[in-house]
Amino acid sequence: MTSKIDIKDLKKLYYSIGEVASFFDVNHSLIRFWEKEFSIIQPKKNSKGNRLFTPKDIENFNKIYTLVKIQGFTLEGAKKELKKKSTIQEVIEIDNSQNSEVIEKLETIKEKLLNLKRII
C-alpha cells in the first residue's frame, strides 16, 4: 500500500490545518493529536495561533499516516519505527558526506597527476 499524498506535489511554503486534514481525509483533531504525540511535527503558528504546516511537516504526517493507518502500527510502534528510520537516515547521510570528501580528494589527485603528465 502506498502513502496518502505525494510530497512532490506540494507547492506552497505553508499549509493550514484544514488543508493538511483534507490531504489525509482525517479530522482536524487527529492532526492536533499527532502533533502532540510525535515530536517530528512542529508547525509554526501565526499571530492568531493558527498552525502553519511546512511540506516537511506534511511529509512527516505522511510517514505517520502510512505507519498507523495503512500498515496498522500502534502509536508507540510508529514512534519506534520513525526513530529507527531516522537513525538509518543519519548513517546514510554520514556515509554520503564521507564519500563526497573522498571523491574531492581523488579529483584533486587526478588533476595533479594530469599536470605532472603534461610536464613530462
Q: What is the mean pLDDT of the chain?
A: 83
pLDDT at 95 over 70: no
Per-residue pLDDT of 3-25, as tens digits, reads: 567 767 788 899 999 999 999 99
Contact assessment for residue 13 and residue 65, using Cβ atoms and an 8 Å cutoff: no
Mean pLDDT value of segment 43-62: 91
Q: Which pLDDT score, from 0 to 100, does residue 24 have?
A: 92
Q: Provide the 3-class DSSP secondary structure of residue 1.
A: coil
To the question of pTM greater than 0.85 for the whole model, the response is: no
More confident residue, 1 or 4: 4
Three-state DSSP string of 63-119: HHHHHHHHCCCCHHHHHHHHHHHHHHHHHHHHHHHHHHHHHHHHHHHHHHHHHHHHH
Residue listed under C-alpha cell 520513525? 82
